[in-house]
């Protein structure tokens, strides 16, 4: 009799536990309350979905992380999750009611569309992490609303949720300061021997670059990193591959004093040369009453660089509603661009410049490259000394990319097709078929815009330039 009652009690306990688990499970499937603000609903789902359990620097390991075998898998998943995506800035933006980074929005959107997260093995242990159809729609509606509010570009309804946006036709700047900035940008007196200007490495006639693997400075010295284009740099959230300059003005202050670029000893030296030019000094003082200073010189260059936008690309015309602007192959290339996660990092108006990303996310780029590592290969780590930032770089913009070869921070890829193939391999973890490479490349060529009403181009020859490296 005693054994019977024990069994009966055990059965009742198990039934009660099953009932509780079922209630918890079905509650977890319920979307966050509609009474919550939009950002609060998203924040709740990020928490319930387990995103913060892997994609943060201080992720708390679950109790089973201490178990043999299983624990190793859990720890590795957390490390890989944080390596791929730090979700803390997004969570902070949601909590503060601020506009999130377009790249963070694009990453959340992509894993939602692909139903990629949470991983099945996480879901097996955490039932509440399930992303139901209703929750998925909430996320996608939030993505659309954020982009409409973020860009305010009045795209047609069938385009206004795209992760890529048109270049502005105008950005505010001071014309008088910009005119001075133009003069300074092309002035070799910023260099110690009066031989090198900003335009020497960032020629506006050659897509804002020089098409060299590494640019040549004074005395024909060479740097150790590929010079990015100045076109559309105004859209970058920081400047330089390693992000060491927060503004265009701060970026402009770097090369004049760099020992292998312009090698001037100080801005006092530069100012003395410029002030000796009475006509230029008079023109400058009329715009800046407090005279020539480092801050005023770099401010003028920044105002000029704000004018270096390139609207009018065929892709922008398509975004704005012209269905005839792209061919079928180019449109398919754009869909492949999104399918293989390219648009999660190359988002926004410049298709990049909005985040730091790891070079070799899915496969080890530097091991395969076969070249000795350099200090420049450390990327953002140079500035932060944070191990997570090693080999992490500001994502380059893709506007006018067909003319801005060679590619990557190390300038090792001389054709767009090579770059596309390797980006698929090392960043997306896919081996692209040649037909896919061709279509993505065709799409990227539709990103070529216009500067002062004329298409951006380069007069340099790949073979000629490569032969003189």
Task: Of 392, 405, 208, give the one whose Cα is nearest residue 307.
Answer: 208
HEC states along the chain?
CHHHHHHHHHHHHHHHHHHHHHHHHHHHHCCCCCCCCHHHHHHHHHHHCCHHHHCCCCCCCCHHHHCCCHHHHHHHHHHHHHHHCCCHHHHHHHHHCCCCCHHHHHHHHHHHHHCCCCCHHHHHHCHHHCCCHHHHHHHHHHHHHHHHHHHCCCCCCCCCCCCECCCCCCCCCCHHHHHHHHHHHCCHHHCCCCCCCHHHHCEHHHCCECCCCCCECHHHCECCCCCCCCCCHHHCCCECCCCCECCHHHHHCCHHHCCCCCCCCCHHHHHHHHHCCHHHHHHHHHHCCCCCCHHHHHHHHHHHHCCCCCCCCHHHHHHCCCCCCCCHHHHHHHHHHHHCCHHHHCCECCCCCCCEEECCCCCCHHHHHCCCCCHHHHECHHHHCCHHHCCEEECCCCCCHHHCCCECCCCCECCHHHHHHHHHHHHHCCCCCHHHHHHHHHHHHCCCCEECCEECCCCCCHHHHHHCC
Of these residues, 109, 162, 261, 302, which one is catalytic? 261
At a CB cut-off of 8 Å and minimum separation 6, what does 75 contact? 61, 65
Whole-angstrom Cα distance, residue 203 to residue 404?
Answer: 11
The phi, psi pair for 340, rounded to 5°, reads -95, 25
Q: Is 261 a residue of the active site?
A: yes
Q: Is 155 left (phi over 0), alpha (psi -120 to 50) or beta?
A: beta
Residues taking part in catalysis: 261
């Amino acid at each position: 009799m005693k054994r019977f009652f024990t069994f009966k009690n055990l059965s009742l306990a198990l039934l009660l536990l099953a009932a509780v688990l079922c209630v918890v499970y079905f509650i977890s499937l319920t979307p966050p309350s509609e009474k919550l603000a939009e950002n609060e609903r998203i924040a709740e789902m990020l928490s319930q979905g387990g995103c913060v359990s892997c994609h943060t620097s201080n992720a708390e390991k679950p109790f089973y992380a201490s178990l043999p075998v299983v624990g190793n898998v859990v720890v590795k998943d957390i490390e890989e999750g944080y390596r791929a995506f730090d979700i803390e800035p997004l969570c902070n933006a949601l909590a503060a009611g601020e506009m999130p980074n377009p790249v963070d929005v694009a990453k959340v959107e992509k894993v939602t569309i692909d139903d990629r997260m949470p991983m099945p093995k996480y879901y097996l242990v955490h039932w509440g992490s399930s992303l139901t159809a209703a929750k998925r729609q909430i996320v996608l509606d939030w993505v659309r609303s954020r982009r409409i509010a973020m860009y305010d570009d009045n795209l047609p309804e069938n385009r206004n949720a795209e992760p890529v946006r048109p270049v502005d036709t105008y950005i505010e700047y001071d014309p008088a300061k910009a005119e001075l900035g133009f003069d300074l940008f092309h002035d070799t007196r910023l260099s110690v021997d009066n031989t090198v200007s900003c335009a020497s490495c960032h020629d506006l006639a050659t897509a804002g670059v020089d098409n060299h693997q590494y640019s040549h400075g004074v005395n024909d010295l060479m740097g150790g990193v590929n010079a990015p284009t100045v076109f559309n740099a105004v859209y970058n959230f920081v400047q330089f591959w390693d992000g060491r300059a927060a503004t265009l003005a701060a970026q402009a202050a770097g090369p004049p004093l760099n020992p292998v670029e312009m090698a001037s000893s100080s801005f006092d030296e530069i100012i003395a040369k410029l002030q000796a030019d009475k006509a230029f000094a008079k023109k400058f003082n009329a715009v800046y009453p407090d005279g020539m200073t480092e801050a005023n010189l770099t401010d003028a260059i920044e105002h000029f660089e704000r004018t270096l936008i390139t609207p009018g690309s065929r892709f922008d015309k398509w975004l704005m509603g012209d269905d005839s602007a792209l061919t079928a192959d180019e449109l398919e290339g754009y869909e492949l661009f999104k399918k293989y996660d390219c648009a999660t990092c190359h988002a926004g108006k410049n298709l990049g410049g909005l985040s730091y990303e790891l070079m070799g996310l899915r496969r080890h780029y530097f091991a395969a490259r076969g070249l000795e590592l350099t200090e420049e290969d450390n990327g953002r780590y140079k500035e932060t000394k944070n191990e997570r930032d090693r080999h992490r770089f500001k994502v380059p913009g893709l506007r006018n990319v067909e003319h801005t070869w060679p590619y990557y921070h190390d300038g090792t890829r001389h054709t767009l097709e090579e770059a596309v193939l390797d980006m698929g391999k090392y960043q997306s973890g896919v081996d692209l078929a040649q037909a896919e490479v061709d279509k993505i490349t065709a799409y990227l060529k539709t990103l070529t815009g216009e500067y002062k009403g004329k298409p951006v181009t380069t007069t340099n020859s790949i073979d000629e330039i490569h032969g003189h490296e």
